[in-house]
Amino acid sequence: ERFLAPEIFFSPEIFSSDWTVPLPSTIDTCIQACPIDTRRPLYKYITLSGGTTMFKHFVKRLERDVRRKAKERYDFTKKKYPDLDVKKINVSIVTHPYQRFAVWFGGS
C-alpha cells in the first residue's frame, strides 16, 4: 500500500474509473492553455508544494513524464513541419527543502 499511494498521481484509472487523467497530463494541458510566449518559462519552472510531493522519486518520475509529453509534441511538430526550426522544450521541476510547508507559508 505504501508504494501504491503515489501511483494514484500517475495512473489514477487503476483506483477509480471516474478519474483517468494523470498528473503529468494535467500539468501539460494546463501549460498548453497558457499564452504561447509563457510556455517555455513555465516548463522550466514547475514548482511542487505539499506533503504528497515528498514521496521518494516523485520529482524524477513527474519530470520524466512531463518531458516525455513535451518530446512527443516536439516530434509530432518536427515530423509535420520538417523545415520549421523548432527548439526543444526544457522541463525542470523545482523542489525545496520546505516544500511540505510551502502552502502554509504562503497563507500566513
Q: pLDDT tens for residues 10-39? A: 887 887 788 788 999 999 999 999 999 999
Query: In 3D, which of 74, 69, 62, 58 has the Cα closest to residue 28?
Result: 69
Residues facing residue 93 across a β-bridge? 46
Q: For residues 57 and 3, is the Cβ–Cβ distance under 8 A?
A: no
Q: pLDDT tens for residues 57-89? A: 888 999 999 999 999 999 999 999 999 898 999
Kindly report the pTM of this predicted structure: 0.82
